[in-house]
Amino acid sequence: MANADQSGYQATLRKLNWGNVNDVNDQLKVISRYSNAKNGEGKYVDYVAQRPIQLDKNNYAYLDNFSVGNNQINIAGWQCPFRRG
């Protein structure tokens, strides 16, 4: 596919003020734009995610792997604690 090496996206929201985020009401809508211009304008196609992301102040984690073998314990996972304003 042409320009496949330029596909994908990543975003970082810096200095999010949690004082302005309600635990149950605020949502984040993800819109991904493909454009033939570097500034995102010109001819473009937008993909709007079907479900918005609900913002809250919870601490999320998941244990991906827990195993015992060769006289050792292996643990892998992730955690995403959200800081409060």
HEC per residue, 16-54: CCHHHCCCCCCEECCEEEEECCCCCCCCEEEEECCCCEE
pLDDT number for residue 2: 63
pLDDT number for residue 67: 94
- Among 19-23, 28-32, 74-78, which range has the highest average pLDDT? 74-78
Is a pLDDT exceeding 60 seen at residue 83?
Answer: no
